[in-house]
Structure 1
């Protein structure tokens, strides 16, 4: 398939428009190569703010940005809306739903998806949140449950609809638990005067002994205290055994009746077919060398959540955070140019710039190297970093104005149920839901 104009320059195909893919394409802007990016969406998603889309604090468009528009001024860039099915390393081609595409260099930047660890029932009934459609589905389910709770006359009948269990106490779980708690404490009774905030239960569960396990003990302890003060009950050292859509069961025998289980307990890489099993590491990641090149292959790279660079310093690979993907993307972009020019490549070295997490208004934790602090100042830094990282001036402005409105009146955002969501299927209206059940 001819995807770009005929060119004497090598073609670099980038699969994925996430943080890493963007960085590779940007680094190659003035290079003597043609760049072709493939993605199943035509936009980049700013995943750190998905939880605010799920609660209606932000509209989905404000954390998404057109990939074509982002690279509008880059003359060597092309984009195609496509899904990659398999990689044919022996032929230097990839099979996609729009045809076979040849490449000179290939960068796999497909990111990660939710890992349910093989539990099909949990996978069917629990709600993931790794994409904008999933965040919107979660929003619809949360507010559908509140609408259903209003109709129940007996407290025991309302209880499952007003109980939220979040599994996975990493940054996503902590931030979403804090957001749900603040909604319950400050907003819910304005929209639903029939409901009492005391009846809403929020649980945050993790099989590890502390929240925010990758952070420092200081940050973890502060997050624990913030969540408890917001009314979130932490269930630590708790491993889920099953969830059937009505109750979640833990291995220690604890059972919680709930219609809302939100799953952020694990991720795994999204790897196209075509890679030998011996190249795949734990977490469904592709093993790469010190320049992010797939082990044993000369012109295929993998970066970010889908790459496993196993070294004595990183025996488990690098953390699945945006900074890793960005820095790997920058390194791969430079090294492709080195290879094109016949120059020596530069090994990748991760520069950990620190970690941030927010647990509601005026509450955040920051681990910035040896500097660790919590509270209001950490929250301001979290705001600045996330605003600065968003693509597009319009998005930055919209998000900032939304945050200011929410801060002033506790009642900003949109809490509309545009579509009905039922057990993994989006329904257009209530009639279809009835027929589907």
Structure 2
């Protein structure tokens, strides 16, 4: 693609070492913050001008929060530092030989390059139905899901066709990890407490939520206790759980499983992620869609290219398949690499990364959560839900976001209401039908 003549990736020349960071997620943002006192020029590149708190995307998708509650402007994080620069561009590749990163508006030289561009949705080579399912990885995805589901209910009110009505009222969530469990639980609470008030002329006993998981348990990355208790909560909330089940196809109307079919107009895809690997790296540096790095997060086969977070695979004795693709790993690697880059600039030896596992958690609904502590202790129920809420509030960027999110949660807790059930923009997909059975006004 030719570069528009009026655009260029221009950064002021400097005698300081230039550190280019690709991605403003948990890893990239914490790395940039950790370099504040380092004598270096820091350039952050991202296709969005905001950081997204991805663990709460499901609440935007299910009308619990608005996007600005879980997103913060990246430029605000750099205020007051003349050696920090942000450019909203899409990175298309890297050239380690020339020490250049390639973008849609030009190339940029670097002294140090850090790839922190996270992960993308894993469709497991199911290309045929990829355009027909709804992923949940970015803010735009969450807004698409919210609009699509609400539009379906608006159509269900008007349809005269029973089969069409069932498709509009059925929702399939694929993937029994934290995202899938949290989306399913939030939808079940909408079905029970909120939607019957909004749509009194719809019979929500006919709304069915299906959770599809390919393994024999939920929350595979957590303890057996967490998986077992999450399954108990999910079932008590009326969600149909199918374990050891795989999606083979979806045509926009029918989900084809390895053991049957489900008629639905909505499939939320949360079955997994893979590293967002950029072009230009040596093939020997990439394994299973992740970039191989050493104990300093340096990309194997390079001297000054690093990778952190979801896209990085650091194979250690305790983590032969790399660290889990979770926010705490990215945060710790970003903070640690900031110290190591500072040490390298000062011509000191870098120190190997060691991950401190602070535990894992997932929420299924109000007063329903599971928590695994690093000391082997496990919690469930109201106390686990309070821990989950406290941790997520603390990790949100900015006092305003913390306050707004907490206020929304308190309001929802006592009123059983969510105030963001708005179709701000109509969501359209080519596969979505315009059924002839809708009454004409």
For normalisation by structure 1, the TM-score amounts to: 0.95
The alignment status of 1:264 with 2:270, answered yes or no, reads: yes
1:289-323 alpha-carbon deviations (Å, 9 max, x no partner): 11110001000000111001112221111101000
Runs of 5+ consecutive residues of structure 1 not aligned to the other structure: 431-437
1:139 partnered with 2:146 = yes
* Separation in 2, partners of 1:255, 1:412: 32
**Aligned pair in 2 of structure 1 residues 19, 424: CA closer, same or farther (>3 Å)?**
farther
Structure 1 residue 405 displacement after superposition: 1.0
Aligned mate of 1:395, from 393, 397, 401 = 401
> What CA deviation, in whole Å up to 9, does each residue of 1:253-309 have, x standing for no partner?
x10000000001011111111012221111x11111111100010000001110011
Contact 2:94 2:281 in 1 (8 A): yes
Deviation, structure 1 residue 154: 4.3
1:176 matched to 2:183: yes
Q: d(CA) in 1 for partners of 2:417 and 2:381?
A: 22
Residue 153 of structure 1 and its aligned partner are, at CA, apart by 2.7
CA distance in 1, matches of 2:177, 2:424: 29
Matched, 1:377 2:388: no
Alignment of 1:318-333 (within 5 A): 318-333=323-338
Structure 1 equivalent of residue 365 of structure 2: 360
SS of the equivalent of 1:120 reads coil
Match of 1:413 among 411, 419, 426: 419
Deviation by residue 1:180-215 (Cα, 9 ceiling, x = unmatched)? 000001111110111122101001111110011111
Q: For 1:111-157, what per-residue CA distance to the aligned partner results, in whole angstroms no more than 9, with x for missing partners?
A: 01101111112211010010000110111111111111111234433
Matches of residues 37-116 of structure 1 in structure 2 within 5 Å? 37-116=44-123
Alignment of 1:255-334 (within 5 A): 255-282=261-288, 284-334=289-339
Cα distance in structure 2, aligned partners of 1:281 and 1:86: 17
Q: CA-atom RMSD, angstroms?
A: 1.4
CA distance in 1, matches of 2:24, 2:82: 17
Counterpart position of 1:13? 20
SS in 2 for 1:37: strand
**Partner residue of 1:386?**
392
- Give the Å deviation of 1:424: 6.5
Output the CA distance in 2 between the equivalents of 1:7 and 1:121.
49
Offset at residue 378 of structure 1 (A)? 0.6
SS of alignment partner, residue 14 of structure 1 = strand
The 1:205/1:2 distance shift into structure 2, 3 A limit, reads closer
Q: Deviations over 1:54-90 (max 9, x none)?
A: 1111111111100001221333211111111110100
- SS of aligned partner of 1:26: helix
Task: Tell me the residue number matched to 2:439.
Answer: none
* CA distance, structure 2, for counterparts of residue 373 and residue 147 of structure 1: 39
Answer yes or no: is 1:166 the counterpart of 2:197: no
Q: Does 1:337 align with 2:342?
A: yes
Answer yes or no: is 1:348 the counterpart of 2:353: yes
Is the contact made by 2:9 and 2:106 (CA closer than 8 Å) also made in structure 1? no
Provide the rounded CA distance (Å) in 2 between the counterparts of 1:424 and 1:166.
20
Matched, 1:127 2:148: no
In the alignment, which residue of structure 1 is the partner of 2:232?
A: 225
Alignment match, 1:194 = 201
The answer (yes or no) to whether the contact 1:59–1:413 under 8 Å persists in 2 is no
Deviation for aligned residue 1:420: 1.9
Q: Distance in 1 between matches of 2:300 and 2:327?
A: 23
Partner Cα separation in structure 2 for residue 424 and residue 288 of structure 1? 41
| 1:227-266 alignment runs, 5 A limit | 227-252=234-259, 254-266=260-272
Instruction: Please say if residues 163 and 260 of structure 1, whose CA atoms lie closer than 8 Å, have aligned partners that are also in contact.
Output: yes
Give the SS at the match of 2:298: coil
Contact between 1:279 and 1:295, CA under 8 Å: does it hold in 2? Answer: yes
Q: Distance in 2 between matches of 1:4 and 1:88?
A: 18
Q: Distance in 2 between matches of 1:381 and 1:156?
A: 43
Q: Identify unmatched segments of 5+ residues in structure 2.
A: 1-7, 435-441
Residue-by-residue CA offset, 1:314-353 (whole Å, 9 max, x unaligned): 1111101000001111121111111111111111111110
CA distance in structure 2 between the partners assigned to 1:217 and 1:421 by the alignment:
38
TM-score (norm: length of structure 2): 0.94
Give the deviation of 1:422 after TM superposition: 2.2
CA distance in 2, matches of 1:397, 1:330: 25
